[in-house]
């Protein structure tokens, strides 16, 4: 009897759980909410008054069925001039919300950080963002589903959004529906992504164009388009080649190179030439390289990185990023930053061969997080009952699907890349322009990897001429460095103005 009762209890419990799940899908759904406020920003001595909207918009699929509440913060200029541009901006991850770009460079306020040092605890300071682009364009900060206030609704679940193609689709749907809802279909349109947001951008620009939404420009901040350049895969040389110039630039910054030369760009160019003409051919030989050639290359690597030739030889001329973070300042018990290698932190295990933490992330994350949330629920008037997720990493079931349409070759998954998407859009639209903004000290998405990707686009020169590359003596979030923030604004403003010229 006890056994029969136990199984009856399980059956009833499972029925109740199934019914609860069914009720959760068919019962009342959360509703979109938008909170409005007045904001302003002063740029070049001129004050721009803004209407701000923060909250969620109901996102629908291709069959007009609700699939998500999509979170955003939008800044619209009061009494705008005709045909004012609009920029949709987001961070990367995948799984990161947009608050880094929001509080770093795009919004009307910016968080003050002690770059490149660790910041003290609260109180943090928000100031007028004189580097914003809001004087010439409206800005919409987007939070992909799982981040910010964005959540699936209806019959949709996280897996419908958490993947390369799923993400490109949902972000594109939001842009199209937001433009329609806010009567901006005929505005000049731009998308701006950082980090994985650039990988996303390449797909979104193609998706939107195929739906009839031509973009005026695409801005790539700290870009990556081919994941092979980032992951140190077995028997693969490309990431070691892609990382070397940034490693050398980092060593230059920390005073570890034999000859610093006249300036950083000139030094980096010398490293590019060594990488292409000597280092890459040496790695290609593998175990066929002679001991004398190996010693010659190792000595040159010591000169440009400050890491001893013996270490380079012991590593078969290949040191990955984590090993470099540890090795460069091992003698002083310090490690360098991944997102920005100007930053230094305590090396808690000087004997380890890989880093444990990222000093730049440790140094700025508390300031960005607390200052943003205070601004979001304070100045922007967003209800404190709503939870803003700075990332999706803790969400139940969060796992990224890396399959991408077009990356299938002879029945096998090739390296994940959105370069073909970018090439498709550039070939179909002879007017769209691309701006790629690179930090010399970015060891997360390295500039030489981007250069490699662009140099391997199979496009005519007329299309390649529409891609512009800029460089900053800072890291992944180059705008934490105020001189680079000013250059960022200047370059972005010029890019938008140039793209609008007939």
Residue 27: per-residue pLDDT: 56
Range 182-196 average pLDDT: 98
222-266 per-position pLDDT tens digit: 999 999 999 998 889 999 999 999 999 999 999 999 999 999 999
Helical H runs in 154-237? Answer: 164-181, 196-210
Q: Give the three-state DSSP class for 278.
A: helix
| Residue 45 pLDDT class (50, 70, 90 cuts) | very high
Helix axes 164-181, 196-210, angle to 10 degrees: 60
| Residue 342 pLDDT class (50, 70, 90 cuts) | very high
Cis peptide bond upstream of 278, omega within 30: no
* Tokens found for residue 409: 């070759």
Tell me 96's DSSP state.
B
Q: Does position 410 have pLDDT exceeding 50, yes or no?
A: no
Among 1-5, 17-21, 76-80, 398-402, the range scoring the smallest mean pLDDT is 1-5
Q: Give the three-state DSSP class for 389.
A: strand
The highest-level CATH class for domain 34-228+366-500 is: alpha beta
Residue 408: per-residue pLDDT: 63
CA-wise closest residue to 444 among 474, 414, 401: 474
Rounded CA-CA distance 192/215 in Å is 11
The structural domains of the chain, with segments of one domain joined by +, span 34-228+366-500, 231-360
Residue 351: per-residue pLDDT: 83
Residue 13: per-residue pLDDT: 40
252-303 per-position pLDDT tens digit: 999 999 999 999 999 999 999 999 999 999 999 999 999 999 999 999 999 9
CA-wise closest residue to 322 among 220, 262, 267, 247: 247
Rounded CA-CA distance 241/247 in Å is 10
468-477 per-position pLDDT tens digit: 999 999 999 9
Pairing mode, strands 66-77 and 138-143: antiparallel
Rounded CA-CA distance 269/471 in Å is 12
Percent of the chain exceeding pLDDT 90 equals 88
Q: Return mean pLDDT, the chain.
A: 93
Range 77-100 average pLDDT: 97
| Residue 213 pLDDT class (50, 70, 90 cuts) | very high
366-381 per-position pLDDT tens digit: 999 999 999 999 999 9
Matching residue, tokens 């939070």: 143
| Residue 413 pLDDT class (50, 70, 90 cuts) | low
Q: Does position 490 have pLDDT exceeding 70, yes or no?
A: yes
CA-wise closest residue to 367 among 67, 104, 131, 79: 104
């Amino acid at each position: 009897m006890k056994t029969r009762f136990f199984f009856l209890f399980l059956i009833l419990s499972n029925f109740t759980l199934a019914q609860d799940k069914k009720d959760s899908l068919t019962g009342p759904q959360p509703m979109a909410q938008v909170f409005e406020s007045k904001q302003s920003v002063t740029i070049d001595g001129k004050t721009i008054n803004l209407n701000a909207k923060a909250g969620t918009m109901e996102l629908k699929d291709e069959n007009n069925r609700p699939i998500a509440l999509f979170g955003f913060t939008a800044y619209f200029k009061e009494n705008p001039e005709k045909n004012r541009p609009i920029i949709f901006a987001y961070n990367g991850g995948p799984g990161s919300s947009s608050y880094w770009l929001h509080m770093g460079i795009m919004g009307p306020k910016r968080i003050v950080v002690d770059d490149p040092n660790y910041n003290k605890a609260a109180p943090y300071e928000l100031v007028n963002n004189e580097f914003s682009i809001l004087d010439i364009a409206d800005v919409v900060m987007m939070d992909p589903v799982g981040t910010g206030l964005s959540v699936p609704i209806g019959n949709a679940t996280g897996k419908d959004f958490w993947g390369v193609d799923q993400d490109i689709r949902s972000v594109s749907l939001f842009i199209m529906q937001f433009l329609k809802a806010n009567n901006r279909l005929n505005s000049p349109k731009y998308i701006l992504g950082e980090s994985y947001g650039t990988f996303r951008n390449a797909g979104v620009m193609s998706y939107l164009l195929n739906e009839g939404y031509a973009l005026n420009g695409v801005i790539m901040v700290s870009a990556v388009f081919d994941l092979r350049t980032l992951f140190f895969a077995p028997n693969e040389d490309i990431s070691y080649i892609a990382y070397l110039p940034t490693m050398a630039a980092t060593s230059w910054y920390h005073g570890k190179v034999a000859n610093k030369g006249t300036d950083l760009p000139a030094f980096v160019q010398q490293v590019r030439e060594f990488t292409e003409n000597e280092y890459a051919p040496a790695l290609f030989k593998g175990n066929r390289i002679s001991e004398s050639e190996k010693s010659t290359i190792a000595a040159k690597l010591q000169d440009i990185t400050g890491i001893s030739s013996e270490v380079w030889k012991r590593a078969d001329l290949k040191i990955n990023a984590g090993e470099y973070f540890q090795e460069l300042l091992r003698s002083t018990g310090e490690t360098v930053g991944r997102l920005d290698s100007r930053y230094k932190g305590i090396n808690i295990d000087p004997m380890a061969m890989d880093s444990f933490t990222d000093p730049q992330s440790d140094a700025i994350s508390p300031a960005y997080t607390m200052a943003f949330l205070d601004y979001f629920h304070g100045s922007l008037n967003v209800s404190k009952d709503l939870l803003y997720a700075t990332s999706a990493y803790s969400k139940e079931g969060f796992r990224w699907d890396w399959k991408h349409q077009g990356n299938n070759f002879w029945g096998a998954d090739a390296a994940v890349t959105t370069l073909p998407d970018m090439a498709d859009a550039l070939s179909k639209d002879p007017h769209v322009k691309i701006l790629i903004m690179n930090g010399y000290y970015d060891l997360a998405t390295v500039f030489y990897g981007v250069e490699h990707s662009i140099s391997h686009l199979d496009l005519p020169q007329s299309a390649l001429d529409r891609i512009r590359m800029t460089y900053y003596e800072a890291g992944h979030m180059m705008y934490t460095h105020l001189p680079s923030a000013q250059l960022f604004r200047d370059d972005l403003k010029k890019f938008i103005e140039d793209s609008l010229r007939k």
